[in-house]
A and B are shown apart, each in its own frame.
Chain A
Amino acid sequence: NAGVTQTPKFRVLKTGQSMTLLCAQDMNHEYMYWYRQDPGMGLRLIHYSVGEGTTAKGEVPDGYNVSRLKKQNFLLGLESAAPSQTSVYFCASSLDSVTAGGQQFFGPGTRLTVL
């Protein structure tokens, strides 16, 4: 099993450009999440999904959109990138919520720089 994979690993954008980050998991997990991690601020939840076809806002959703058309994939889109979106983005998945004991499985991350 590959677990959780993310593409791309690195990306540099200019202000105003758009891009999509792809997350895939092969564990048949229901829940998927997108986080951003900035220095000294820990992980903050951007959007999440509790199943195929569902999405919901997390703590810091502004400037991002997501889609979960297939159970195994969760896409994060930036429509018009801003320097404030320079960060490391992590995707995660979990089997479900309560019985998973809070355990989430994380992908390797995407390091995004917006100039």
Chain B
Amino acid sequence: GQSLEQPSEVTAVEGAIVQINCTYQTSGFYGLSWYQQHDGGAPTFLSYNALDGLEETGRFSSFLSRSDSYGYLLLQELQMKDSASYFCAVFDQTGANNLFFGTGTRLTVIP
């Protein structure tokens, strides 16, 4: 099976940097994705890492260490609109290449 762990809540100040960690256990790991979901909204794709290292997309970066079964999402220059839930998801090749989601980290950005 699969299991993912991420903090349930994080609070950070506007303009600051925040890191959301994700550790995972899965037998058929292929990659790690991150999704953002605002209250009442749909999840939207942020990033994907299949190889070790850092991927940068604007203010957001995502990191993966396959040997440590660990990844993180880094949000820089936090804005109020970044307040949302962030989900890590393992892309698993067991079966039909599905995504298995963590339980999410609720980020609150305060002034």
Q: Which residues of A come within 8 Å of B, CB atoms?
A: 33, 40-45, 48, 50, 56, 58-59, 90, 92, 97-98, 101-109
15 contacts between A and B (CB under 8 A): A33-B98, A40-B8, A42-B102, A43-B43, A43-B87, A44-B101, A45-B99, A58-B98, A97-B96, A101-B91, A102-B32, A102-B91, A103-B33, A107-B42, A108-B42
Majority DSSP secondary structure for residues of B touching A: strand
Q: Which residues of B contact A101 (CB under 8 A)?
A: 31, 33, 48, 50, 91
A43/B44 in contact, CB under 8 A = no
A44 to B100, CA, bound (A): 7
B102/A102 in contact, CB under 8 A = no
Majority DSSP secondary structure for residues of A touching B: loop
Q: Which residues of A contact B98 (CB under 8 A)?
A: 33, 45, 48, 58
